[in-house]
Amino acid sequence: MAKSALETYGHDLVEKAEKQTLDPIFGRHKEICRLLTILCRKTKCNPILIGEPGVGKTAIVEALAQKFAAGNVPAKLSGARIVELDMGAIMAGTIWRGQLEERLKDVMTEVKGSEGKVIVFIDEIHMLVRSDHQGTAAEILKPALGRGGFRCIGATTLKEYKRYIEKDGALARRFKQVYVNEPSVEDSINILRVLKERYEKHHVLIIKDSALIAAAKLSHRYITGRRLPDKAIDLVDEASACMRVQLDTQSEELDELQNEKSKLEAEVNALEKEEDKASQARLPQAKKELNDVNNQLQPLLSKYQKQKSEMEKLTKLKQKKQEILVEIQAAQKRQDLIRAADLRRQKLDDVELKIGDVERRIRKHGFIEKDTVGPEEIADEVSRWTGVPVSRLTGEEKEWVMGLAGRLKKRVVGQNEAVDSVAEAVMRFRAGLALPNQPNGSFLFLGPSGVGKTELAKGLAHELFNDENRMVRIDMSEYMEKHSVSRLIGSPPGYVGYHEGGQLTEPVKRRPYCVVLLDEVEKAHVDVLNILLQVLDDGRLTDGQGSTVDFRNTVIIMTSNLGAGHLFSEKYCPMQVARERVIQKVKEHFKPEFVNRLDEILIFRPLSKIQQRRVTKSMMKDVARRLSEKGIAMAVTKSALDFVLDQSFDPVYGARPIRRWLEKKVVTNISKMLMKEEIGEEYTVYVDANDDGKDLKYNVEKNNGLIDGISDGRYEILIQIPTMEKNNDDESEEAEGGTEEEDVETTSVDSD
């Protein structure tokens, strides 16, 4: 027997509700009551649900279907069915003109023949209007929609409604708008509580109530661009799926060991084919490491196989328990209490006994038994989605946060106040006590060139993301014209580049947890900085496309040279007076509302000669690191470092002249030696000052790259070949001894 048009292109939501296959719904009484009121009208009885994606428009129609299934509707609608039309099925395969209209007419004829007992639900109703057949399809619907013989519930977004339906006044007036707003966090929590049982049954897990609360609050706080309750439901669903995968698959430790085994096996095979000294020296160590990995791997594999078997048994038993509970509930609804008691006494008790036995075996063997989704799992999922570290701090992470200032002081010399302020901002955020509607920190770095302003921003990015280039860096000297503000937030509609996004908003939208560096901010047009007022105050900015970009998880750093000349007058006036003059210069240049929104204005002092000596050593180590990549070691004397500093030191220009001098003199001379093949792999270059102190001298020795060290105590080993553990360089720095300034000494490049 051929199917009717409604059976072919739709499915009955009331029938699904009777079979209890629809998810339960919480709230939305006002919207459901409005739907019933419109459906009971004589004419124009066609509600259209309008709301942002994810707020629950389709769920409201499903809740209405559940009311129909329960008979909790006005007598006029009693016995009616709600049929959801599949627009994809209706439009698919419409090859010749008129085929879509023919299918619609068949549906409408069947609905009219039901004498009001069929209500059609069209999700994404704008698809019907925006199709290639929009002229005729809309015209077919209009007469039936206006007369009351064809009841239709539509659902669309506000954007699509304005774009497609509102333009056609005749079609728009036949629908009665029902606006669906995003539920509050509290309502979203209640929605999750209603859905909890369904997700527990699907994933065979226990979901804590605290996890539901965390999902609603964290999704509202950190996941922008989406709406509640959809994003909170997705969080719970994905966190549960992640735990289910972890329970059913190998542990991360086991995967890492297997990967390490594969890597070592490949290395051993490659080394056995090589004949050079370095390869032969590495081969015994690689074989030993491979043997150690195998010894660790075998017991873990055996334990995993037993654990997997027990967990599979436990999962099947819990699924069986859920099925029995459903049967018991169905029997109780039928008032068949004898059947319910038999199921509980015979089947349920037996399954629970078996579950207890399996759980005891799991605990006895120390297998993973955690099958509960809590707030920690939700926080981990938020971190995976957004990159924002919102999970609870572990012991190691707490130590990392507490030691952040010390590590930054090793990289940025002599600017302790600025380093402490930046580290404290990160600490407040990681502790969860930062202001909720502002960036993690907004700083204006003032000071002369080459004292570490940009370097501190790079160091912070390196500490947070293990990559100093993972920050949004904008050179504000490119924004000297007033109209260039569109480059930051994106071009407005109608202009070239409208869909490309802004250079500030687009990277932050993709990666909301980042360091934003606005370099040389005083070079930009003053009006360009007006767009930063909302960023600094409310942590938000609207781009050229009308989307709101969240800056609440960023650290905003601006650098400037304003008033730097006053800092060099410290010999003639106290430092406090110089600072006040610099601040006054800033207030004269920037508007008061901009200055007042900054968390802190930090002044970087010019580097002293002692501080620049440590910078020189750090830069020399950078040269040594580049040499080590070619298998060449490097050692220098203190007199060589003193000579480099004497030749390049300039308090006005900071550390940059040192780097330029090293590149021009040291790197160039070593490059010539490489070209002439005077040095190569397993060589060591010794750098010292001439006896007359007017130049540097370079001695070369082939000694396996200082594997056994050197006999001359005057030289300091910068990097050995093969590179030693990272703390070797720290030890060499400590050996230098000296003042407490050593606490802020630049770290060796090995530690990177």
pLDDT digits 0-9 by tens, 501-517: 788 888 888 888 888 99
362 in any annotated domain: yes
Cα 648 vs. chain centroid, distance in angstroms?
43
Lowest mean pLDDT across 182-191, 204-213, 577-586: 577-586
Residue predicted with more confidence, 112 or 217:
217
More confident residue, 311 or 60: 60
Inform me whether the pLDDT recorded for 174 exceeds 70: yes
Would strands 633-636 and 716-719 be described as parallel, antiparallel, or unpaired?
A: antiparallel
Regarding whether 303 and 443 lie in a shared domain, the answer is no
Does a structural domain hold residue 750? no
Alpha helix ranges (H) inside 12-94: 13-18, 29-39, 57-70, 87-91
Residues 310 and 371 in one domain: yes
Q: What is the 3-state secondary structure (H, E, C) of 93-123?
A: CCCCCCHHHHHHHHHHHHHHHCCCCEEEEEE
Digit-coded pLDDT (tens) for 642-685: 888 888 877 777 788 888 888 888 899 889 888 888 888 778 88
474 and 583 within one domain: yes
Residue 38 maps to a domain: yes
Residue 392: pLDDT band with limits 50, 70, 90? low
Q: Is-contact 47 154, C-beta < 8 A?
A: yes
Dist CA 646 CA 658 (whole Å) = 10
Q: Write down the mean pLDDT value for the chain.
A: 81
pLDDT for res 136: 58
Coil, helix or strand at residue 520: coil
* DSSP string covering 272-321: HT--SHHHHHHHHHHHHHHHHHHHHHHHHHHHHHHHHHHHHHHHHHHHHH
Q: Nearest CA to 476 among 419, 516, 533, 425?
A: 516
Residue 71 belongs to some domain of the structure: yes
Residue 751 covered by a domain: no
Taking the C-alpha atoms of residue 540 and residue 721, their distance in angstroms, rounded to an integer, is 50
Per residue in 243-296, pLDDT (tens digit) is 888 877 777 777 788 888 888 888 888 888 887 777 788 888 888 888 888 888
Residue 293 lies in a domain: yes
- Percentage above 90 pLDDT, the chain: 11
Q: Among 46-60, 579-593, 721-735, where is mean pLDDT lowest?
A: 721-735
pLDDT above 80: residue 620: yes
- Report the distance separating Cα 55 and Cα 392, nearest Å: 29
Give residue-wise pLDDT tens across range 111-134. 888 777 888 898 888 877 755 444
Same domain, 592 and 654: no
Q: DSSP 3-state assignment of 523?
A: helix
Confidence category of residue 711, pLDDT binned at 50, 70, 90:
very low
Mean pLDDT along residues 335-353: 80
In sign, the C-alpha dihedral spanning 636, 639, 642, 647 is negative
Instruction: Supply the CATH number for residue 685's domain.
Output: 1.10.8.60
Residues 429-455 have a mean pLDDT of 85
Residue 490 in contact with residue 543, Cβ under 8 Å? Answer: yes
Spatial separation of the C-alpha atoms in residues 404 and 358, rounded to whole Å: 46
pLDDT band at 189 (very low <50, low <70, confident <90, very high): very high
CB 61 within 8 A of CB 151: no
Q: Are residues 571 and 444 in the same domain?
A: yes
Which of 141, 111, 126 shows the shortest CA–CA distance to 49?
126
Same domain, 336 and 482: no
**Average of per-residue pLDDT across 306-316:** 77
Of residues 709 and 283, more confidently modeled: 283
Q: Is 290 exposed, middle or buried (0-12, 13-18, 19+ CB in 10 A)?
A: middle
Give the domain extent around 658. Answer: 609-719
Domain with residue 257: its CATH number is 3.40.50.300
Confidence of residue 186 (pLDDT cuts 50, 70, 90): very high
Q: Which pTM was predicted? A: 0.72
Give Cα 600 distance to the centre of its chain. 27
Which has the minimum average pLDDT: 310-324, 337-351, 564-578, 628-642? 564-578
What are the φ/ψ torsions at residue 207 (nearest 5 degrees)?
A: -110, 120
Whole-angstrom Cα distance, residue 351 to residue 699?
81
The number of domains in the chain is 4
Tell me which residue of 153, 165, 168, 61 sits closest to 111, measured CA to CA: 153
Do 158 and 19 share a structural domain?
yes
The domain boundary residue, chosen from 369, 388, 407: 388
557 assigned to some structural domain: yes
Range with lowest mean pLDDT among 348-352, 499-503, 740-744:
740-744
- Final residue in a domain of this structure, among 545, 578, 603: 603
DSSP string, 620-656: HHHHHHHHHTTT-EEEE-HHHHHHHHHHH--TTTTTH
On the 0-12 / 13-18 / 19+ scale of CB atoms within 10 A, 414 is buried
Burial of 221: CB neighbours in 10 Å, binned 0-12, 13-18, 19+: middle
